[in-house]
Amino acid sequence: MAVRRVSKTAWPTGPGLFAEVHRELVASLPAAPTTPARRSPRRTTAMRLCVLASGSGGNASVLRVRGQACVMLDLGLGPRVLRHRIEQAGLSFGDVSAVCLTHLDQDHFKPGCIPMLLGHGVRVHLHRWHVQDFMTLPGAADLSAAGLLCVFDDESFEPYPGVTARPIHLPHDLKGTVGLRVEADGASLGYATDLGTVPPQLIDILSEAGGVDVLAIESNYDPDLELASGRPAFLKQRIMGGRGHLSNDQAFAAVRAIARCCADGRPRRVVLLHRSAQCNHPTRIHRTFAQEPALAARIVLAEQRRRTAWIDVDASHAGQMSLWLD
C-alpha cells in the first residue's frame, strides 16, 4: 500500500452594532447564486474560510491559502453538490490541492468523491486510525497507489507547502475524530467537529501563542430538544453520552474557555458547525451565547443548505466577512 507518512512533532500532553449586522447578514444570507460569482480584485489574505455545508447531511469547508491554493476540511458532500457549492464560492474543484479528513463518517467523507480526487490529483490526509477503514472503500486502493493518501499520526503535517495542520485527538464513537489547528503566514484556524466532550488539549492548543484567529467548532444540539425528540434511546445516548456531539452549552463553555486563554480579542470570529436540524435551533444557540455578549457578537452559524460568506483568517483582520469572492 503506497501510503505516505507525514510526521513532525509529538502530541501535546498538557492539560454592538457591527457585530449584530454581521450576524443578521449571515442569518439572512440568500441562497448563493446559481452561477459562479465574479472574482474581485481584493487583497490577498493569509487564509480565508468558507463552510460549504455543515450538518448531519454533509460537512465540507474550503480554506483558501494566500488567494491561491485550496485545502478542504472534510468532504462529506456528493460530487454534484460539492461541485455546485464550490462554484458558488467562485472556485472549482480543480483549485483544490488537498483534503484533510477529520474522520470517515459518511457526513464527512463521501467515497463517491474518490474519482474526482484521483482525476485532479488531490491529496487526502487521514489519521492512521482511519486508514484501515478507508482502504475498504471503493477506489481507495487506486488513490493510495497514486500516492495521494497521506497518513498523519499524532504530529503536525503540511497539507500544502507553508501550511501546517496540528491534529488534536477528539472523542467520537469508537475511533475518535481529529480536530485541527491550521496555520499559515501567522494566521491560525481552529477546527473541531464531532466531539463528545472537550479535552483539555483542545483548549490548550487552540489558545496557544495568543490563540487562533478564527475558531470553527460544533454546536450540535439542545438537550431539551434532543430528549423531547422522537429519536430512539440508543441514538440519544450516542449523541449525548460523551462520545457523540457537543451541546450548545458545551460549545459555549469551550469557546469561552478558549477565548479567556487567548489574547487581543481572539478568536475574532466563531463559526458554529454541525447544528442539528431536528434537535437544535438558531434561537437556542443565540440564547446560549447571549450569556457573554462579546462572544455572541462573533458567532456565525454554518448552514446545511447554503455556504457561509468567506471569512478572513488573518492575524491582522481576522473575522471580516465578504460576500465577494477572491
* Least separation in angstroms between CB 76 and Zn ion: 7
CB of residue 212 vs Zn ion: minimum separation in angstroms? 21
Query: What is the number of other CB atoms lying within 10 angstroms of the CB of residue 136?
Result: 10
Q: Based on CB atoms, which residue is closest to Zn ion, 196 or 211?
A: 196
For cell 447564486, what's the residue? 33
Nearer to Zn ion, 144 or 193 (CB): 193
Rounded to 5 degrees, φ, ψ at 71 are -115, 125
Provide the β-strand partners of residue 163. 160
User: Which residues between 56 and 85 bind Zn ion (CB under 5 A)?
Assistant: none
Instruction: State how far the Cα of 301 lies from the Cα of 218, in Å rounded to an integer.
Output: 10
What CA dihedral angle connects 81, 86, 89 and 92, to 10 degrees? Answer: -140
**Of 39-47, 60-68, 102-110, 256-264: span binding Zn ion (CB under 5 A):** 102-110
Q: At what angle do helices 282-289 and 248-261 cross, to 10 degrees?
A: 40
Q: How far apart are CA 185 and CA 47, in angstroms?
A: 8
CB-wise, 194 or 314, nearer to Zn ion? 194
* Cβ proximity to Zn ion, 58 vs 90, nearer residue: 58
49 neighbors 271 (Cβ within 8 angstroms): yes
Report the relative pairing of strands 269-273 and 214-218 from DSSP bridges.
parallel
Name which of 187 and 215 has its Cβ closer to Zn ion: 215
Cis amide prior to 267 (ω within 30 degrees): yes
d(CA 47, CA 62): 10
What cell numbers appear for 269 in the block?
A: 470570529
**Single residue of 194, 226, 303, 314 touching Zn ion by CB under 5 A:** 194
Burial label for 205, CB within 10 Å (0-12, 13-18, 19+), is buried
Q: Which is nearer to Zn ion, 172 or 298 (CB)?
A: 172
* Nearest-approach distance from CB 245 to Zn ion, in angstroms: 8
Kindly state the smallest distance separating residue 262's Cβ from Zn ion, in Å. 26
Shortest distance (Å) from residue 59 CB to Zn ion: 6
Binding piece for Zn ion, criterion CB under 5 A, among 26-34, 106-114, 155-163, 306-314: 106-114
Which segment (34-42, 104-112, 119-127, 174-182) binds Zn ion by CB under 5 A? 104-112
| Identity of the residue, 105 or 292, whose beta carbon is nearer to Zn ion in the bound complex | 105
Residue closer to Zn ion, measured from CB, 148 or 198: 198
The 167-186 site mask, x for binding Zn ion (CB under 5 A), equals --------------------
User: Within a 13 Å sphere around the CA of 121, how many CA atoms are in the beta-carbon half?
Assistant: 1
Q: Which stretch binds Zn ion (CB under 5 A): 131-139, 190-198, 200-208, 258-266?
A: 190-198
Instruction: Tell me the C-alpha to C-alpha distance, in Å, between residue 215 and each of 34, 147, 293.
Output: 29, 31, 17
Q: Do the beta carbons of residue 94 and residue 115 sit within 8 Å?
A: no
The least distance separating Zn ion from the CB of residue 188, rounded to whole angstroms, comes to 23
Select 194 or 312, whichever has its Cβ closest to Zn ion.
194
| CA torsion through residues 308, 288, 73, 276, sign | negative
Query: What is the nearest approach in angstroms of Zn ion to the Cβ of residue 107?
Result: 4
313 close to 47: Cβ distance less than 8 angstroms = yes
Q: Determine the size of the site formed for Zn ion (CB under 5 A).
A: 2
107 binds Zn ion (CB under 5 A): yes
Q: How far is the CB of 105 from Zn ion (least distance, A)?
A: 5
Shortest CB 207 distance to Zn ion, Å: 24
Residues at the contact surface with Zn ion, assessed by CB under 5 A: 107, 194
